Amino acid sequence: MARIPVWVFDLDDTLHHATPHIFPHINRAMTSYIERHLSLDYAAATALRQHYWQRYGATLLGLIRHHGVDPHHFLAETHNFDNLSSMLMTAPALAETLKQLPGRRIIFSNAPRTYTHDVLHLTGLFPLFDAIYTVESFGFQPKPMRNGFQKLLRKEQIRPGQAIMIEDSLPNLVMAKRLGMHTLWVTRTLRNSPWVDHKLRSIIDLRHLVGWSQRATCGAK
């Protein structure tokens, strides 16, 4: 039985460029939060933030597990922007590219709900998605944790082979592929990975994979 593709998108550095302006702002806010609430100096707070991000895929998860930090308070404090619209960078014709994709489109982000919705509204992409899942959606179990992926697949009643994960983070794609999903890596790196079906230099390159997506997900298990 043929099945339509389900496109599962990351948000930051996938649908928009967060590295130039947004990530530095968030990193500064997280470091400051750790300094204040854990009574650490700047160097120690920075090291702890980076350590938890590398170990868990999200600084927040380490702070919850090891320090009992309130996740809602942390996210509100660290994703507070005076002028988010001025920091957003998106590819030209992104909305038109997304509209060309057959099947459903879903957001699956480690970012908080309010920030994710703000980004999608400001970029005009919000109406193009059928569902939006953020770090709060599955009990603060961020990518690349297996539980978050499995809960999304169950919630949306998606067979893994029907889903196409689009990400800039290779560890997240590794988990997606282990679960049987198809994987697209948004990256400019020259290296390849056995966990990736296709590399995209730009999210706009998705328009070249419409035919592939239908073949890949046909008769998905």
Q: pLDDT band at residue 220, thresholds of 50, 70 and 90?
A: low
Taking alpha carbons only, the member of 181, 170, 182, 172 closest to residue 142 is 172
What is the pLDDT at residue 218? 84
How far is the C-alpha of 6 from the C-alpha of 156, rounded, in Å? Answer: 10
Answer yes or no: is pLDDT of 2 > 70. no
Mark whether 182 and 129 lie in a shared domain: yes
**pTM score of the predicted model:** 0.95
Residue 187: inside a domain: yes
Q: Give every CB contact of residue 129 below 8 A, 6+ residues apart in sequence.
A: 9, 105, 106, 107, 120
Q: In degrees to the nearest 10, what's the CA dihedral of 130, 132, 84, 39?
A: 180
Mean pLDDT over 65-86 rounds to 97
Residue 84: inside a domain: no
How far is the C-alpha of 199 from the C-alpha of 68, rounded, in Å? Answer: 38
Mean pLDDT over 44-64 rounds to 95
The CATH number for 189's domain is 3.40.50.1000
Mark whether 12 and 26 lie in a shared domain: no
Mark whether 10 and 57 lie in a shared domain: no
Mean pLDDT over 13-19 rounds to 98
Taking alpha carbons only, the member of 111, 130, 95, 213 closest to residue 168 is 111
How far is the C-alpha of 34 from the C-alpha of 49, rounded, in Å? Answer: 8
Q: pLDDT band at residue 57, thresholds of 50, 70 and 90?
A: confident
Mark whether 174 and 194 lie in a shared domain: yes
What is the pLDDT at residue 1? 43
Structural domains of the chain, count:
2
The CATH number for 28's domain is 1.10.150.450
Mark whether 11 and 29 lie in a shared domain: no
Mark whether 109 and 207 lie in a shared domain: yes
Mark whether 108 and 73 lie in a shared domain: no
Residue 55: inside a domain: yes
Mark whether 200 and 162 lie in a shared domain: yes
How far is the C-alpha of 186 from the C-alpha of 189, rounded, in Å? Answer: 9
Residue 64: inside a domain: yes
Digit-coded pLDDT (tens) for 27-41: 999 999 999 999 999
What is the pLDDT at residue 121? 98
Residue 1: inside a domain: no
Q: Which helix (H) or strand (E) holds 128?
A: none
Q: Which domain holds residue 148?
A: 6-17+89-217
Query: What is the amino acid identity at position 177?
Result: K
Mark whether 58 and 119 lie in a shared domain: no
Mean pLDDT lowest for which of 54-63, 116-125, 195-204?
54-63
Mark whether 134 and 45 lie in a shared domain: no
Mean pLDDT over 188-210 rounds to 96
Q: Which residue has the tokens 């920091």?
A: 87
Answer yes or no: is pLDDT of 219 > 90. no
Average pLDDT, the chain: 96
How far is the C-alpha of 117 from the C-alpha of 113, rounded, in Å? Answer: 6
Digit-coded pLDDT (tens) for 144-187: 999 999 999 999 999 999 999 999 999 999 999 999 999 999 99
Q: Are 40 and 140 in contact (CB under 8 A)?
A: no
Beta bridge partners of 105: 7
Answer yes or no: is pLDDT of 221 > 80. no
Mean pLDDT over 95-114 rounds to 97
Q: Are 14 and 199 in contact (CB under 8 A)?
A: no
Q: Are 42 and 35 in contact (CB under 8 A)?
A: yes
